[in-house]
Amino acid sequence: MPTGGQAVLRPASWRPVAVGRVQLRGIAQVALSASPWTGLLFVAALFADSWWIGVFGLLGTAASTGTAAVLGADRDSRLRPGLEGYCGCLTGIALLLRFGASWRTALLTVLAAAVCSVLGAASVRLLGRVGLPMLTAPYCLVTGVLVTALPTASAAAASPAPVAGITGLSAADIGNAFCDNIGQVFFLDKWYAGLILLAGLLVTSWRAALAAACGSAVAILTAYVMGLPADHIGAGLYGYNAVLVAIALGTTFLTLTPWSAGYAVLAAVASVPFTTAWTAFVQPSGGSPFTWPFVVTTWLFLAAVPVLDRPGISLEKAK
C-alpha cells in the first residue's frame, strides 16, 4: 500500500459527500478495494447481518480515518483511497462482538481505532522498506492485545476450538461455507450477508469477485481434505483468510497470469492450516486468529516472488 508525505486537508475535503465517500472506501478496503460502491454494498451487508455491527463498523472507520486526518496523514495516498479506515472498521466490529454493545465498547472502539492509525503509519514506514503492504496487521495487533488484556469480557467473538473428526459435508454445509467464508471477513454469519459482500466486489471488479469465490471454494476443499469438523467449515471459520489471500495475490499485488493465479491458489490452500493452527494457539486465552493468517500468508508469498524463476509471477501492480 502506498506511502506519502504529510498534507493538510483542504476545506473542500470535509464536505459531507467527500467524507462519506472516504468512509465507504475505508470499509471497501477491508477487501482491498477503493470503490465507494463496493463500500456501500459492504455497509448494506453489515446492517443486513446486525444493526449493531453496521453501527460499530462505521464508528471504527470514522475514528481511525479522523485520527489519521488530524495527525496529518497524506490526503491523496492514504485518506482519499480509504487506507486509513479499514483497520478501524474491523476493530469496531471485533470489539462489539467481544464486549457487547455499550457506551464503554463505543469508547474503546474509538480509542482502539485511533491507535490503529498510529500503528498503521509505523507499519507503512517499516514494511515499506522491505516492499510489503501492512494489510490488516494493525487491526490484528490492537484487537488481539485488547482481547487478551480484558479477559473478563464475553467470549462471543472467540473462535471455537477445532475438534477431532468430521461428519461429512452436506450440500447445505457447502453452500453455507461458500457464503460464510466471505462473510466472516467482517465476522458476518448469515449466508445472505456473504452474498451481498460478493456482489459488492462484483460491481467494481469481476476479477476480485472471482478471486473471492475461488478462495472460498479452495478453502472448503482444503478443510475437507484436512478432516476438519463440518460445522466449523460450514460457519466459514477456516475460509475467510483464504478469501482475502486470493484477492490479495490474485488481483491486487500480482499481475494476473496463469502462473500467478496458480500461485494465489497455493497461497489460499496454505492459509487454511495457518488458520487452524492459529485458532488452536489462541484458544486457551479466549482469543481469535482474526486475519493474522491472511497477513502472514500474503507476506510470505509476496516476499518469495523476487527469488522465483518464473516470468509469469511478477510484483508489478495488476491493472
Task: Give pLDDT tens digits for 8-41.
Answer: 444 445 677 888 999 999 999 999 999 999 999 9
Determine the residue type at 180. Answer: D
Q: Which amino acid is at 78?
A: R
Q: How far is CA 191 from the centre of its chain?
A: 18
- Residue 195 scores a pLDDT above 90: yes
pLDDT grade, residue 225 (50/70/90)?
very high
Instruction: Give the whole-angstrom CA distance, residue 90 versus residue 239.
Output: 17
Report the percentage of the chain scoring pLDDT > 70.
89
pLDDT of residue 316: 62
pLDDT of 135-191, one tens digit each?
999 999 999 999 888 865 444 444 554 544 455 788 888 999 999 999 999 999 999
Please tell me the distance from the alpha carbon of residue 319 to that of residue 250, in angstroms, as a whole number: 12
Q: What is the pLDDT of residue 3?
A: 38
Mean pLDDT value of segment 186-211 = 96
Question: CA–CA separation, 268 vs 222, rounded Å?
Answer: 9
Q: What is the largest CA-CA distance in the chain?
A: 59
Rama region for 188: left / alpha / beta (φ>0; ψ in -120 to 50; rest): beta
Instruction: Please give the Cα distance from 254 to 33 (Å, whole number).
Output: 15
Is pLDDT above 80 for 212?
Answer: yes
The rounded distance, in Å, linking the Cα atoms of 106 and 163 is 34
Please determine, for residue 126, whether its predicted confidence score (pLDDT) is greater than 60: yes
Q: What pLDDT is attached to residue 14? A: 60
Distance CA 19, CA 24 (A): 9
The pLDDT of residue 169: 83
Mean pLDDT over all residues of the chain? Answer: 89
